[in-house]
């Protein structure tokens, strides 16, 4: 089963919790055991599993990436001024694979799935969710 989730983002950089949408697809698949691949389409976005308790961790991820990868100093900035966005997305990576255990995502209590925006705001971002059964 494969579905495309869409979302819009409202700032240049930020983490957006997409856990409930992914859980709904896993439930709809009726698969008891398997894998869910969550993949961000776009070279300036990423997927990260991260703590969901408090917004501070999400803010800290953005702060970390801004410290690691300052803007405005990259060769690619001459093309479309978002060299840092591509590098941040590349470091985190475009996808995560989540085990499906007894029909539920095998996330711990404090793990959620986040879409990471590094070149927003965007009207439409796409996340491909592919669910495969373990037979
Ligand atoms: Zn670019």
Give the Cα separation of 62 and 15 in Å (integer).
8
Tell me: the pLDDT tens digits for 14-49? 999 999 999 999 999 999 999 999 999 999 999 999
Q: Which of 19, 16, 21 is nearest to 5 (CA)?
A: 21
Q: Are 114 and 9 in contact (CB under 8 A)?
A: no
Report CA(77)–ligand 1 centroid distance (Å): 7
Q: Please tell me the pTM assigned to this model.
A: 0.96
Give, as residue ranges, everything with CB less than 5 Å from ion ligand 1: 80, 82
pLDDT for res 100:
98
Report CA(55)–ligand 1 centroid distance (Å): 28
Report CA(18)–ligand 1 centroid distance (Å): 25
Report CA(12)–ligand 1 centroid distance (Å): 14
């Amino acid at each position: 089963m494969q579905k495309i989730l869409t979302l819009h983002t409202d700032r240049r950089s930020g983490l957006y919790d997409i856990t409930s949408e992914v859980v709904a697809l896993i439930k709809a698949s009726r698969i008891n055991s398997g894998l869910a691949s969550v993949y961000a389409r776009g070279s300036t976005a990423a997927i990260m599993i991260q703590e969901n308790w408090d917004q501070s961790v999400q803010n800290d991820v953005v702060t970390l990436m801004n410290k690691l990868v300052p803007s405005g100093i990259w060769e690619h900035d001459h093309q479309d001024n978002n060299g840092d966005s591509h590098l941040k997305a590349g470091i985190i990576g475009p996808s995560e694979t989540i085990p499906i255990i007894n029909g539920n995502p095998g996330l711990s209590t404090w793990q959620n799935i986040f879409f990471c925006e590094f070149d927003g705001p965007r009207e439409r971002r796409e996340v491909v969710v592919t669910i495969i059964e373990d037979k």
